[in-house]
A and B are shown apart, each in its own frame.
Chain A
């Protein structure tokens, strides 16, 4: 009995790590730039395809391709901010929503055109392996993904709290106008925020590749969870999004185990409603 519960919790935690990478990106962009990036999932998809082609053409392990996908997506993030998002920042939210939504549709359909709708998988020596401990099992690829995800989240936290640029980003998140009055260049801060957020999406793509298939719609699966995590963990709060993502992973897993295999999301959304009912600002309290 306890084994089944423990296994469900482990499964949930591991997938929650991936949700966290996506949702931290969304919450970072929202916190700093104050826009909702509907295209975040598509950037995960791009990360997956980069990893897939590197593995397929050059035999590079998807985990090593982190060193390609993260810089590549960082650059894409800076470009997207500089050439697209910067132009729609203003008092009116509508153009921003349309922009990122349009970007999502564009990338999705471009991928359909370029890569077709086929599923692409990468085989690594550890793809199908698992550690077996005390009647429980921990899939190797997911464990690696979880550890790297937690490391990247930790690194981001350190960056935000110890470096000048990180502090500037937090300042911009807390109050953009005051931050600008203090001499912080918002364009630069926003570019870095977009870059980091997309680099995390790219990392999620690379980490997913050893155990998940790449296909044009793959981002949609993860972005929905990311939005829930961002709201549950308080908009703009990085640690909140992290904790909410892990909780959601566990909730989904337990839901499938004890409510029904098609009710995983039901439990997740139930958890979201409960959170909003008792803590309307989300688990994280204030944006940090």
Chain B
């Protein structure tokens, strides 16, 4: 690129004298700058007897509509790599350090496809992780599959476990989330009468259907099952309807803005109902910042929480120091994922993606940061699913997310409203 620029600067058709004078100076700066830069980079090979770093790719939406969460994911990815490196790197590779290469997928499916391709072909990678949103991860996972590049992800879509050999999902799946939500309804009442309201596009419709199918098996009665159009101006009519249904628990499958309106309206109506806001935006620090005190006591589900064990709490402290907020589910899960990759690299004793994939498929951990998941164990089945994976039920208590379900993962008692 530098060469190209010099070429254009030397363009002899340039007639303006004053301009060419300025360009002489520019050229001078480029040349001297180049020499200085060469000097700086020249220092690198001197450290060359240390092992070559192992490149890990990270695909996250750090711009676009999911930017805020994406930026948090990148911070977590860096934290994970720093922690592995501080602990001595990959010992079987001579203490090789992990080198994180981040690519911005811009919250866009098309960009995700090209960026994943570019990341894999443009770098010598050992594995990749990404992309937070299931819709984006689905695409990255397809590209990785074709390139025979192992991908590890916290995305919850069950589709990621179908017909893939290079995708690994160490955390609970979407279908398990629905089941956990239904079971949590029984914490509130012996005879749960649930009102399900869901936004009427793919996300809300598919999740709500999962709930409807599982409800009879869990002994939960659904008394209201109602789609609504996302982006409404006023939640009052909808909550009016929930009130009339006589439900004692409300499952809201909503985008963040609608959920904020719904929660506020429930409070205004003075309706005494246990709200389960699901996962995603609901279990983010931003939700509490937006909703404030009335978020207290609201329940949700997550694939990771910062109080599940001591290691998670250590990660949380460090993450909070770096970003100012507690480690949200995806961030904490991503640190665990980085340690799973390190474990695989250690056993593979190779940076070759195929060998890393094979080592991941035989991963079996029950202690340390790599096992930092609800259930405390990670072992992948043939579909890339963690056979011990399960979600954790959480509740907003004093501005923090506390694990309250299931019993073996509960760290705080359920706060009765």
Contacts and interface: CB of A to CB of B under 8 A. Distances in A.
B197 A261 contact: yes
Interface stretch (B164-172, B232-240, B396-404): B232-240
B68 A118 contact: yes
Given A137-B269, A261-B228, A212 B236 contact: no
A254 B238 CA distance: 10
A143 B197 CA distance: 26
Interface string A213-238: 10101000110010000000000000
Nearest to A256: B237
A105 interface: no
A128 B270 contact: no
Nearest to A127: B264
Nearest to B229: A262
A47 B244 CA distance: 36
A216 B265 CA distance: 23
A11 B264 contact: no
Given A11-B234, A117-B65, A4 B240 contact: yes
Nearest to B264: A128
Contacts of B231: 217, 221
A7 B240 contact: yes
Given A4-B244, A132-B270, A212-B261, A252 B237 contact: yes
Contact of A260 (B67, B226, B244, B260): B226
Nearest to A216: B65
A51 interface: no
B292 interface: yes
B64 interface: yes
B407 interface: no
Nearest to A123: B292
Contact of A11 (B65, B229, B236): B236
User: For the side of the interface on B, what is the size category?
Assistant: 35 or more
A67 to B, nearest CB: 25
Nearest to B69: A118
Contact of A213 (B197, B226, B240, B290): B290
A119 B256 contact: yes
Contacts of B256: 119
Contact of A8 (B226, B227, B232, B237): B237
Given A130-B269, A132-B270, A253 B237 contact: yes
B176 interface: no
Interface string B218-233: 0000000011110111
Interface in B205-262: 226-229, 231-234, 236-238, 240-241, 244, 256-257, 260-261
Nearest to A249: B234
A139 interface: yes
A287 interface: no
A175 interface: no
Contacts of B68: 116, 118
Contacts of A121: 260, 290-291
B270 A137 contact: yes
A264 interface: yes
A18 interface: yes
Nearest to A215: B257
B314 interface: no
Contact of A118 (B236, B265, B286): B286
Interface size for chain A: under 10, 10 to 19, 20 to 34, or 35 or more residues? 35 or more
Contacts of A215: 257
Contact of B290 (A117, A119, A132): A119
Contacts of B290: 119-121, 213
B11 interface: no
A126 to B, nearest CB: 10
Given A11-B240, A252-B237, A117 B229 contact: no
Contacts of A123: 292
Nearest to B66: A117
A265 interface: yes
A15 interface: yes
A270 B228 CA distance: 18
Contacts of A18: 233
Given A119-B257, A262-B200, A129 B268 contact: yes
B228 A262 contact: yes
Interface in B265-293: 265, 267-270, 286, 290-292
A49 to B, nearest CB: 15
Contacts of B232: 221, 264
A211 interface: yes
Interface centre among A211, A217, A252 (most CB of B within 10 A): A211
A260 B226 CA distance: 7
Given A4-B244, A222-B233, A264-B229, A256 B238 contact: yes
Contacts of B241: 256-257, 261
Contact of B268 (A119, A130, A221): A130
Contacts of A128: 264, 267-268, 294
Nearest to B256: A119
B266 to A, nearest CB: 10
A261 B233 contact: no
A266 B291 CA distance: 30
B344 to A, nearest CB: 36
Interface string B289-304: 0111010000000000
Interface in A1-55: 4, 7-8, 11-12, 14-15, 18
A53 to B, nearest CB: 16
15 contacts: A11-B240, A18-B233, A116-B68, A117-B64, A117-B67, A119-B290, A121-B260, A121-B290, A121-B291, A130-B269, A222-B233, A253-B234, A256-B228, A256-B237, A262-B229
Given A129-B268, A221-B231, 18 more contacts: A4-B244, A7-B240, A11-B234, A11-B236, A14-B236, A15-B234, A119-B257, A119-B260, A128-B267, A137-B270, A213-B260, A253-B234, A256-B237, A261-B229, A261-B237, A262-B228, A264-B232, A265-B229
Interface of B: 64-65, 67-68, 197, 200, 226-229, 231-234, 236-238, 240-241, 244, 256-257, 260-261, 264-265, 267-270, 286, 290-292, 294
| A-B residue pairs, 8 tightest by C-beta | A256-B237, A261-B228, A11-B236, A130-B268, A15-B234, A253-B237, A117-B65, A262-B229
